[in-house]
């Protein structure tokens, strides 16, 4: 490490230029911005604060080289930094869960439209909660709501509880480690789920950041990508309250097959809401 530090300039501008070139050569998108994000994290500041820095101290330089190497191996930036933004929240992340995506915010938008009373005392269930992003975003919007998040991975439920505390929402939710909603008693006014939906054969074609680092169990939707939706179609009618809705995330091209499964399970399709890219992303159903 000492030799590497002698060979690498401590001048920030030179450091960023070298890192940008290395990130570009590794096939990282937006390499200049990524280099700046890494430098900000290594120096304990943000992008605005980075503008006031001319040189990088040796200890921060060493940290920068370490995390740069991780990013060159396509480890997601969120895992390196340890947190990410979702809706109005700042969430801790770890390899135990998927990293929340902006596309998933489409589900929150759908909830707000279909349940316009922000003072409603909703009872909410989030199946496969991961970081807790969906449940916590909804609780932040509905101050009288309470909720339960479930996940098969105990590390995920622990992370979700940390995120609840991080965002001052832990008094209104519980996180349970279980399969789907086993042992959970309804009814619920709102059920959320971002289930595994990638067809198994497509997993290796995903971006290196995803296939190498994010948990496969949270991605793999079986042979046709619909295994989780079949399970949800079987349990949702028994968990929904009269007048309640479920909002599910969809993968690309699933905006016909999944609504058909829900219809066959006795659910009425209210909407398939597109994300900003025009992909049918949020399926809204009721009993």
Q: Exposed, middle or buried: residue 163 (CB in 10 Å: 0-12, 13-18, 19+)?
A: buried
Was domain 86-286 assigned CATH 3.40.50.150?
yes
Q: What is 2-73's CATH number? A: 1.10.8.10
pLDDT for position 98: 96
Strands 173-177 and 146-151: parallel
Contacts of 274 (CB under 8 A, 6+ apart): 106, 280, 281
Question: HSE of 5 in the Cβ direction (CA atoms, 13 Å)?
Answer: 12
**Rounded Cα distance, 267 and 111, in Å:** 17
Contacts of 45 (CB under 8 A, 6+ apart): 52, 53
pLDDT for position 62: 93
The answer to whether the CB of 164 falls within 8 A of the CB of 170 is yes
Q: Cβ atoms within 10 A of the Cβ of 286, count?
A: 18
The answer to whether the CB of 1 falls within 8 A of the CB of 20 is no
For the chain, domain boundaries: 2-73, 86-286
pLDDT for position 2: 47
pLDDT for position 253: 94
Would you give per-residue pLDDT tens digits along the chain (287 residues)? 444 445 555 789 999 999 999 999 999 999 999 999 999 999 999 999 999 989 999 999 999 999 999 999 999 999 999 999 999 999 999 999 999 999 999 999 999 999 999 999 999 999 999 999 999 999 999 999 999 999 999 999 999 999 999 999 999 999 999 999 999 998 999 999 999 999 999 999 999 999 999 999 999 999 999 999 999 999 999 999 999 999 999 999 999 999 999 999 999 999 999 999 999 999 999 99
pLDDT, tens digit, 9 for 90 and up, residues 25-64 = 999 999 999 999 999 999 999 999 999 989 999 999 999 9
Give the residues across from 191 on adjacent strands: 125, 246
Give the residues across from 240 on adjacent strands: 188
Task: Determine the angle formed by the axes of helices 31-43 and 58-72, rounding to 10 degrees.
Answer: 140
pLDDT for position 209: 93
The answer to whether the CB of 81 falls within 8 A of the CB of 46 is no
**Rounded Cα distance, 8 and 11, in Å:** 9
Question: HSE of 259 in the Cβ direction (CA atoms, 13 Å)?
Answer: 16
pLDDT for position 7: 52
């Amino acid at each position: 490490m000492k030799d590497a530090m002698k060979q690498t300039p401590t001048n920030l501008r030179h450091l960023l230029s070298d890192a940008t070139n290395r990130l570009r050569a590794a096939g990282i998108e937006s390499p200049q911005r990524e280099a700046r994000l890494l430098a900000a994290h290594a120096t304990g500041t943000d992008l605005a604060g980075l503008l006031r820095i001319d040189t990088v101290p040796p200890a921060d330089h060493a940290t920068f080289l370490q995390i740069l190497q991780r990013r060159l191996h396509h480890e997601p930036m969120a895992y390196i930094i340890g947190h990410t933004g979702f809706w109005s929240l700042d969430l801790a992340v770890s390899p135990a869960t998927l990293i929340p995506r902006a596309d998933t915010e489409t589900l929150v938008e759908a909830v707000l439209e279909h349940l316009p009373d922000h003072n409603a005392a909703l009872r909410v269930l989030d199946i496969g909660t991961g970081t807790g992003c969906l449940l916590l975003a909804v609780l932040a919007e509905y101050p009288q709501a309470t909720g339960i998040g479930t996940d098969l991975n105990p590390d995920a439920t622990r992370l979700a509880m940390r995120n609840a505390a991080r965002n001052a929402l832990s008094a209104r939710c519980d996180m349970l480690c279980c399969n789907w909603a086993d042992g959970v008693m309804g009814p619920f006014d709102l059920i959320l789920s971002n289930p595994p939906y990638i067809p198994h054969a497509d997993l290796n074609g995903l971006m290196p950041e995803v296939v190498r680092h994010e948990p496969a169990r949270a991605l793999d939707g079986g042979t046709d990508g619909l295994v989780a939706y079949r399970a949800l179609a079987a349990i949702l009618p028994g968990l929904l309250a009269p007048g309640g809705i479920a909002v599910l995330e969809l993968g690309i091209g699933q905006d016909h097959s999944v609504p058909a499964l829900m219809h066959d399970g006795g659910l009425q399709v209210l909407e398939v809401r597109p994300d900003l890219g025009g992909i049918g992303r949020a399926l809204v159903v009721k009993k």
